[in-house]
Amino acid sequence: MTTTEAAPEIRSSIFSPEHEVLRASARAFIERELAPHADEWEEAGDFPDWVFERAGAQGFLGLSYPEEYGGQGGDYLSSLVLKEEMARCGSGSVGMALAVQSDMATPPILKYGTEEQKQRYLVPAIKGTRIACLAITEPEAGSDVANVQTTAVRDGSEWVINGRKIFITNGCRAHFCTLVARTDRGSIDDAVGPEGVKASSINPRKPSGYQGFSLFLVDTDTPGWQVAKRLKKLGMHASDTAEIVIEDCRVPANALLGEEGKGFYQIMWELQGERLAGAAGSVSGAQLMFDRALEYAKERHAFGKPIGANQAISHRLAEMATEIEAARQLVYDAAWRLTKGEYPVKEISMAKLYGGLVACRVANHAMQVFGGASYLMDVPIQRAWRDARLIRIGGGADEIMREIIAKTSGL
Amino acid sequence: MNITVCIKQVPDPNQPYKLSGTRLDREAVQPVLDPGDEFGVEAGLKLAEAHGGEVTVLSMGPAKAMEAMRRALSMGAHKGILVSDEALAGADAQATAQVLAAAIKRNPFDLVIAGTESADGSTGAVPAMIAELLGVPQATFAKQLEVKEGTLTIHRQTQEGYDVVECALPAVLTVTSGVNEPRYPTFKGIMQAKNKPVEQLSAADLGLSVAASQQVAAVNPAPARGQGEIFEDDGTGAARIADFLKNAKVI
């Protein structure tokens, strides 16, 4: 038995003792209930649906949702704690799949959904009995989100959706999808935002020309909805990633989520929190890689001494530790601002950019410390190395982060 | 059903222990809720969920034991009683049982649940003594349990298998690890635990003046394992190993 619910040691002044008790509880759950399966799931390229249900029962899918919908009633920091601990699962896939459910596909339902939509989609999503995906990206609309081509056309009491979505996490298994489609019928209007910033950096508090997109809640068993392909990836093997083809998919009028034409603002607002959560997860993952590399550097002997006794290794480890700490403080500062009610787009972008860069650097260095062993598929470091690379591309690529930082700095 | 679950804060059993004289140095190692008690709390919560009623967690220990109590409350227990008194430091099993029984008796109860033994003292005697002091039956080493119409039925773990034991409520029950899967506290549970009532009592509040009737005279570590026997293989190695195992009655 390994229960150690220690009196909480508070790791940063942004957290309360209760956040730290949550951290201990989440860590125990993740290390005991999820981590032992990580290898098997990554090997199989999938993980079972019960993970959603167990995570839901544990409150992980609704940490910052109100209790009336089955949530835990916590703040943003409580969900940040979970993202940090989820790195201990050993499979980035699981954390990503759960985060898509709790932090990407469902926040707009809470904020903009009708009571009926909340009962039908949000409540079971928080419980983990219905799996959600979020479909924004298309073959021709990645970072350039405003180029979304999927259309929803009103036909009597229904909407008819046509289009193609790609890189959809949970897309193969999802029961429902939060979908972005054009509803303006016209050509692409004003693909560049008010500050000259492209799609993913839009600050929805300011007026802009990003009209014409709407959000829909689509049941994936609706005729015309088709998973065209399960995409193979470099990492995150246990997570399913779909290409979805939507052909004359007819949904009722009440499938519209929020206001017609406001979909872009509704979804972009929420993605900031998710972006920061992603950064928190990568920094935490980097810390775990570092911890492993440090241990190994002390244990592994070469030429009669531990390899960590060589300055080439020890100085590199010192630099890794410093960078990880710096990245973590960027995350915590942005999280603190977000919790205070600010909308720190610039700080979040910095945290994600730097967190991703550091995670990949640490992964590279850790590979070097582990030497030949790191290149073996049954040694966890190579998986962490593969998984880490995604953060610099997904959820707003490094280049988009730099663009936002530049624009918000007045360039 | 009114259920009282006895819990104890112990030095983390996964860490190496330190002694201060003949007592554990409780400052030296991180204190935690005894892992065995989590099964008791879970059993209590499951019964309360199925039959209604409240789960009270009861502990005797220093003020710091409040952390273990909050842990049990964050799992879902409704309220707590912490008996904390300098005079009780160093209490033995009998004194502990007297205190816990006195605290239990203050309110009507249907079931008292405990682990089979604490991870630190490991006397395994307290629950039986509580049953005696309360004048109720005890059902021990349950690896499975059920309450139906005022009767408790358990599968009592034995070396060969299990016995089916029945008794009428009220009763004392001890549960083995493996009787259930203790839940992990949720954030909601953690936040709610902050505001759940915990009554703090002294020995005098219970009308007790108890003293340990036995003292631990010495604590000795188990003898270190002796060095194994080494056979140089001169062609008869396998036969000698077989003889060795036969002598040890392994084969």
Residues ≥6 apart with Cβ < 8 Å to A36: none
In a domain, B92, yes or no: yes
Q: For A78, which of B70, B71, B187 is closest by C-beta distance? A: B187
Q: Would B226 be classed as within a structural domain?
A: no
- Supply B225's token pair: 């394992």
**Pairwise CB contact (< 8 Å): A73 & B31:** no
Residue of A3, A4, A22 lying closest to B187 (CB–CB)? A22
Domain-wise residue ranges, chain A = 17-127, 132-263, 266-408
Does some domain include residue B236? no
The HSE-up count of residue A395 (CA atoms within 13 Å, CB side) is 30
Chain segment A269-283, per-residue pLDDT in tens: 778 888 999 999 999
State which residue of chain A sits closest to B68, comparing Cα positions: A5
A68 touching chain B per CB within 8 A: no
Is residue B11 within 8 A of residue B17, CB to CB? The reply is yes
Long-range contacts of A366-369 (CB under 8 A, 24+ apart): A366/A289, A366/A290, A366/A292, A366/A293, A366/A320, A368/A316, A369/A293, A369/A296, A369/A297, A369/A307, A369/A313, A369/A316, A369/A317
Q: Report the C-alpha gap between A241 and A229 in whole angstroms.
A: 8
Q: Match 């108890």 to its residue by tokens.
A: B210
CB proximity list for B111: less than 8 A, separation 6 or greater = B1, B2, B3, B4, B44, B47, B147, B152, B169, B170, B171, B172, B173
Gap between the Cα atoms of B126 and A182, Å rounded: 70
Whether A6 and B30 lie within 8 Å, measured CB to CB = yes
Confirm or reject contact between B185 and chain A (CB < 8 A): yes
Contacts with A67 from chain B: Cβ below 8 Å:
188
Interface check A25 vs B, CB under 8 A: yes
- Structural domain boundaries enclosing B54: 2-214
Q: Tell me what pLDDT residue A191 has.
A: 44
Q: Return the SS3 of B5.
A: strand
On whether the CB atoms of residues A199 and A146 are closer than 8 A, the answer is yes
Asked if B187 has any chain A CB less than 8 Å from its own CB, the reply is yes
The residue from A20, A84, A274, A323 that is catalytic is A274
Asked if A127 and A61 touch (Cβ cutoff 8 Å), the reply is yes
Query: What distance lies between CA B124 and its chain's CA centroid?
Result: 8
Q: Which residues of chain A make contact with B190, given a CB cutoff of 8 A? A: 18, 21-22, 25
Residue A229 pLDDT class (50, 70, 90 cuts)? very high
Q: Do A72 and B186 touch (CB under 8 A)?
A: yes
Q: Which CATH architecture has domain A132-263?
A: Beta Barrel (2.40)
Q: Taking CB atoms and an 8 Å cutoff, what residues of chain A touch B184?
A: 25-26, 28-29, 58
For residue A108, is pLDDT > 60?
yes
Per-position pLDDT tens, chain B of length 251: 999 999 999 988 888 888 888 877 877 888 899 999 999 999 999 999 999 999 999 999 999 999 999 999 999 999 999 999 988 888 889 999 999 999 999 999 999 999 998 888 888 899 999 999 999 999 999 999 999 999 999 999 999 999 999 999 999 999 999 899 999 999 999 999 999 999 999 999 998 888 777 888 888 888 888 778 888 888 888 888 898 899 888 88
Chain A residues in contact with B10 (beta carbon < 8 A): none
Fold classification of A17-127 is Butyryl-Coa Dehydrogenase, subunit A; domain 1 (1.10.540)
Contact A58 B38 (CB under 8 A): no
Report DSSP state, residue B223: P
- The Cα–Cα gap between A226 and A64 comes to 32
What is the reported pLDDT for A265?
87
> Tell me, what DSSP letter sits at residue A63?
T
Spatial separation of the C-alpha atoms in residues A258 and A270, rounded to whole Å: 14
Torsion over CA: B56, B62, B66, B68 (sign): negative
Task: Please state, in angstroms and rounded to a whole number, the distance separating the CA atoms of residues A318 and A180.
Answer: 45
- Split at pLDDT 50, 70, 90, the class of A34 is very high
For residue A26, which residues of chain B lie inside 8 Å, CB to CB? 184
Q: Any idea what the CATH number is for the domain that residue B149 is in?
A: 3.40.50.620
B17 is a domain residue = yes
A53 noted as active-site residue = no
Query: Chain A: residue nearest B181 by CA?
Result: A33
| Angle, helices A398-408/A345-370, rounded to nearest 10 degrees | 140
Residue from B7, B75, B181, B184 to probe the interface with A (highest A Cβ count within 10 Å)? B184
Give domain status of residue B163, yes or no.
Answer: yes
Is some CB atom of chain B closer than 8 A to the CB atom of A157?
A: no
With a cut of 80, say whether residue A204 has pLDDT above it. no
Contacts of B36 in chain A (CB under 8 A): 1
**B6: which strand partners?**
B58
Across the interface, whether the CB atoms of B30 and A58 are under 8 A apart is answered: no
More confident residue, A10 or B243: B243
Q: Which residues of B touch A74 (CB under 8 A)?
A: 187-188, 191
- Summarize pLDDT for A328-347 with one digit per residue, the tens: 999 999 999 999 999 999 99
* Total number of domains in chain B: 1
- Of A392, A397, A308, whose CA–CA distance to A356 is shortest? A392
> How large is the ipTM?
0.84
Q: Which residue of B has its CA nearest to A79?
A: B187
First to last CA, chain A: 56
Question: For residue B189, what is the nearest residue in chain A, using CA coordinates?
Answer: A72
Q: Which of residues 191-230 of B touch A (CB under 8 A)?
A: 191, 194
**Which superfamily, per CATH, for A266-408?**
Butyryl-CoA Dehydrogenase, subunit A, domain 3 (1.20.140.10)
| Chain B contact for A16 (CB, 8 A cutoff) | no
The two beta strands, A241-252 and A301-302, are: unpaired
Q: Is any Cβ of chain A less than 8 angstroms from the Cβ of B30?
A: yes
